Structure formats: structure tokens, C-alpha cells
Amino acid sequence: MNLLDPWNTPFDVPPFEAVTDDDFAPALDQAMADARRAIDAIAASKEPPTFENVIEAMDIAERPLGRVASLFFILAGADSSDKREDLQREFSPKFAKYSADKAGNTALFARIDALWQARADHDLSPEQQRVLMLARRGFIRSGAQLEGDAADRLADIMQRLAHLGTAFSQNLLGDERDWYMELAEGDLDGLPDFVVATARSAGKDKGLDGPVVTLSRSLIVPFLQFSTRRDLREKAYNAWTARGANGGDRDNIAIAQEILDLRAERAALLGYDSFADFKLDTEMAKSPARVRDLLMQVWDPAVATAHADAEILAAMMADDGVNGPLQPWDWRHYAEKRRQAEHDLDEAELKPYLQLDNMIAASFACANRLFGLDFKPVDVPLYHADARAWEVTRGGDHVAIFIGDYFARGSKRSGAWCTAFQTQARKPHLQHPIVLNVCNFAKPSDGAPALLSMDDARTLFHEFGHALHQMLSDVDYAAVSGTSVARDFVELPSQLYEHWLDVPAVLQEFAIHADTGQAMPPALLDRVLGAATFDMGFQTVEYVASALVDLAFHEGDAPADIMAKQAQVLDSIGMPTAIGMRHATPHFAHVFSGDGYSSAYYSYMWSEVMDADAFESFEEAGGPFDADRAKSLHDNILSRGGSEDAEVLYTKFRGRMPDAGALLRNRGLAAE
């Protein structure tokens, strides 16, 4: 089909059932050519520049391209194929060149700049002024003020970065897809039934008769927690941490090295001392120094807690007769045993209460109580049999379409994320959001209910928090819609929404045992909530270490040896030997698959300062479902997107900016 034709589908959902991989190349080429012509016409216009004939006109010109590109790149991440990977390698540099050519269109930038300089003469709304400012700033940061060789070099850099980011992602996907470890019946010692069932299902997916361990987080983490076979834990852990670093055509180390070199050159061309300075200039943090200050405020109590925990785990290991130091493949195993001993909490006991369908219902129910949203399943064709869709309404009015794609598979990249096939906007014409959550939970055997860990359930709530930010957006222009905000602000709604999973009333209603149909007993509920900050030293250390390495990579000149730099940073902060980085360099997709979280992996913690403080405001008021607090959250943050500065939005919601105290209390790291 011609993807540029009107889709004429229910709710504007993409026509998945009619799309073939062969449809993308002609549609993308045509849409890009059409957009180029339209942009050139806008730039060449002799009419005085106005918001309508420049900014809105550019939006209209690029919407067909954006619609097809969103469809393609979302499918390339969520349901890849050899053909889609080939197309991704072909089109990523084309999009980089398109962006570079647009940024280098001096006549177009002149019209934007003229409109900005004369903005007082135009009757622009505050949102229009914000959109205009962001457009002008984006052009400048893309090199619009560069000339000659500098402009040409920046364009070359951006195309090369697009190619490298795609290669990094595809190498990582290939390693995750291809590695597995077969398990004989004697290799299942210590594994609960749910882990064995998941391993057998994974083996079936690989065309094998027996169970396997794969590099899917939803399988390898419980294997590391429960397996009594230390040799197999070591083998699995080493494979997991070696993703992207196995040599050959898929090795990501040289790719990451070149990316850092090119980013440093890009920043210098644009007049910045380092890529970190360039990247953070538009974030809430503003400078690397402020980021480092926050991370080190958290690092010191976290690493002290981790060292104390390591001594306890090492003693437990010695009691088992295991000689030698505690290793990274031991930590999760003995932490799980300690959790069972100290909190009487066994994940095998807990998991049957966390059915996927019930946790989805819980996330919907909280959104209903807080924001009045209703969710109704809709039968529309989707891109994979595992995906499902709901119409979201409020007071009977259509708000959005929400799609959930929850199970791991070989065609899906690892992790969890939220994206949108279509973002909310009212102008130049109305469009409702079509939002997608993608997760990688273990798929159950035929007919069995899907069961989540507490970490899985938290991931589900997290991604749904992002979805709410998209679905509740209520702005005029897509440029500031939904999650189009500063990177260190975008995680606030998602991390804040995680708190509602820990609300006792929510678990009492939705944590229903898959076999007995009984609600979670109060004693177990108390143990679950009592263990909320268990092993938080480990979790904080593995995250902050990754954030500090990311920051160090992008400060100053690019390191001459990226792996040596990683080792030097970890040594300088006293990284415990028994804890690995959450994302080591060769598989640090947040940082190297694109620019999104480069120099900005810290943003989860920056946002957590706000989310912990924000949830405290609910607790200080009428409780987690306080109507006034929910309305303020909706009106000042979730509906506003990027229509105002992030600090202004948070201050309107809370009355002030927070400090790190609430975060440390939330993680159980505050001094007694």
C-alpha cells in the first residue's frame, strides 16, 4: 500500500494489517522529497514571516514524513526483521542528512530568526512564543549559524553518528537474540517453578525441547537470583555483561569510541567546551558540575550501604562453603536468600499475586481515580499478536488509544520504553495521541497466566506513567506535546507513577493469587512493603556508577581508550568489586544508540529528586489519591508537556523546587 494515502482506520491507528516491509522505502523517500520541497517553498516565500507561514507551515510540511517514520522506527525496535534492519541502516543516515540540510537552509533560518526578533510585533500566545523559541534554538544547536567547511563537517558528523547509533543497536540486539545456555534437568537446582516454566518456554522459542537461559532480563535475573549452580550463574552473568563486546562484526567498543570522538568534535564546532556542556545547556541541570554534585550526594551513602551489605552476603556465602570473594554473579543469589531470611519474602511466593493482567488493571484503576480516565479494549489490527489496544476516554470523550506490547521476543530490543505513533496536538489540526508501551516480560507457557516480579510490575507502572504524560497532554502544538520536555524532567511522571504500585489499597485490590483467587494476605503485604528499600545500596550503586561513567565520557576531550576510561572512573569512586555497572559501555544503549540519554543518564536520578518530593506532597495532603494534588499534577505537569520551562511547571505544582532529601528517604539511604 501507499503509506502516504489517508489511512482511514479506526482512531487513526496505523493500517498494520496492510503494511509490508516493501512499503516503507518508497513512502519514506517520497515523504522526504515532498517535505524538502515544502520546506524550500517556506524558505523562499516573499511574504513577511509569521507564525502561521513559517512554524505552522513547517509542521504541516513534515507531518506525513513524521507519520511514516514513526511507524517504521517503532516497528524496527519492537518487531525487527532482517528487512527492517537493512532499511534502518539505509534510512538513519538519510534522516540525519535531511535534518542537516534543513538546519543549513540559511533562508529558512533567517525567516525563523526574523520572526523571533520581531515577536513583540506579533500577537503570539505564550505557547507559540515557546514553540518559536525552541525552533530557533534547535536550528542553532543543529548548526544553522555555521558556514562553509564547519557546516559541511557537522553534516557529515551527524550522518556518521546516525549510522553508528543504528549499528550499535543492531549489534546489541543480535547478541541478545543469539546467545542462550541450554539447561539439563540437573541444572535446574534452586529454580522455582515459574523460572523453570519461563526457561522451557524460551527453549521452545529457540526450537529446542529443553529449558534455556537467554539474555532477556526477565529470565536471566531470576536465574541469577535462584540458581544454586554458581558455575552456571557465572557463565550466564558473563554473557549478559559481554553483550556488545564479543569481538567480530558485532563489537561495539570501537563504535562507542568513534561516537565519543565525533560528539566532542560536534560540540567544539558549535562553540562548547565539551559535549556534556552542549547537551546539558538545555536541561534542568544546566552544567556537568551540578550533575556530579547530585550523583555524589547519593553515591556516598549508597556505597557505604553496599559495602555493609557485601559483608553480610560474603558471610552467607562462606556459610555455604564457598571459598573466595563475593562476585557479581553471587550478589543477586545471596541477596535473594537474605531477603527471604530477613523479610520472610520469597519471590516464588510473591509472583503468583502479580498477574500481568491484574497489574495492567491496577495501573488503569489508579489513572481512573486520579484523572478520571476509562479504558476499554478495542479490536483493531496491530503489528504483533502479543500487542493489545484500549480506547482511553474521559467523561465519554475520546482521549487516546493506548497499545501495550508486554512480552519478550527475539525481534524486540531489550528494555522497556514508551513511544507514540501519533502525539497530541490541536493545531494546525486536531490529532489524538496513539501511545505504545513496550516491555520484555517473560511469556508464559500456553494457557498459563503471565506472572511478574515486583520489579516487572514497577516497570509496567513506570512506562504507563510516560504514557499518561502523552495521553493527558493538552497543548496546541506537537513540538511541546507530552514527553517533549527536558531529558531530566521527562522521567518525573514515570517515576512518580511507580509510587502508586506501593499503595496498600492498590495491592489489596489487584494482587490476586493466580491459582487460589485470593487477595494477598495482609501479613505478606506488610512484608512486601517492608522490603521496599531492600538491597537499595546495590541498586543505587549500579545506577550511579553508570551515570558517572556517562558524564565522564562526555566532559572535556573524548577519552583515548574508552574502556580504560570506564575502569579509571570506577576505580576513582571506589566501585565495589561485587557490583557491576547497570549498563557497561558496550551495551549502554541509552547513551550510544542515539543522543537521547548521552551525558544525561543521570536524569533518572534528577527526576527522582522531584518524584520523591512530589509523592510526599500527596502524603502530606489527603493521601495518594488526594483530588486537589491530582488536579495540580494534571494541570501543571501532565497536561502541559513542554509548553513552559520544566522548573516553572514543577514550582507551580509544588510551590518550590526540592532538594535530595526526599530521594534519600525514598531509597532508605537517609541518615538515621
Which residues are designated catalytic? Answer: 463
What cell was used for 242? 559481554
Full DSSP string of 477-545? -GGGSTT-S-HHHHHHHHHHHHGGGG-HHHHHHH-B-TTT-PBPPHHHHHHHHHTTTTTHHHHHHHHHH
What cell was used for 311? 559483608
Residues 6+ apart with CB under 8 A from 455: 221
How many Å apart are CA 79 and CA 85, to the nearest integer? Answer: 10
Strand pairing class (397-407; 388-394): antiparallel
- What Rg, from alpha-carbon coordinates, does the chain have? 25
| DSSP letter assigned to residue 581 | -
Evaluate whether 465 touches 638 at the Cβ level (below 8 Å). no
Element (H, E) at 609: helix 603-620
How many Å apart are CA 65 and CA 4, to the nearest integer? Answer: 8
How many Å apart are CA 170 and CA 76, to the nearest integer? Answer: 10
How many Å apart are CA 198 and CA 645, to the nearest integer? Answer: 45
Residues 6+ apart with CB under 8 A from 138: none
Work out the angle between the directed axes of helices 356-371 and 454-471 (0-180°, nearest 10).
40
User: Please, what sign has the CA dihedral across residues 436, 440, 446, 448?
Assistant: negative
| DSSP letter assigned to residue 180 | E
Q: Which of 509, 580, 506 is nearest to 549 (CA)?
A: 580
- Identify any residues that bridge with 435 across adjacent strands, giving them in sequence order: 402, 420
Show the 3-state SS of 257-300. HHHHHHHHHHHHHCCCCCHHHHHHCCCCCCCHHHHHHHHHHHHH
Evaluate whether 499 touches 492 at the Cβ level (below 8 Å). no
- Burial class, 628, CB count within 10 angstroms (exposed 0-12 / middle 13-18 / buried 19+): exposed
3-class secondary structure, 21: helix
How many Å apart are CA 214 and CA 175, to the nearest integer? Answer: 10
How many Å apart are CA 528 and CA 347, to the nearest integer? Answer: 10
How many Å apart are CA 100 and CA 93, to the nearest integer? Answer: 10
Output b/e per residue, 74-94; b: 16+ Cβ within 10 A. Answer: bbbbbbbeeebbebbeebbbe
How many Å apart are CA 621 and CA 573, to the nearest integer? Answer: 39
**3-state DSSP helix/strand/coil percent for the chain, to nearest 5?**
60, 5, 30
Q: Which of 189, 188, 245 is nearest to 212 (CA)?
A: 188
How many Å apart are CA 333 and CA 566, to the nearest integer? Answer: 26
Element (H, E) at 441: strand 434-441
User: CA–CA distance from 590 to each of 247, 495, 526, 560, 596 (Å)?
Assistant: 21, 17, 35, 21, 7
How many Å apart are CA 37 and CA 130, to the nearest integer? Answer: 26
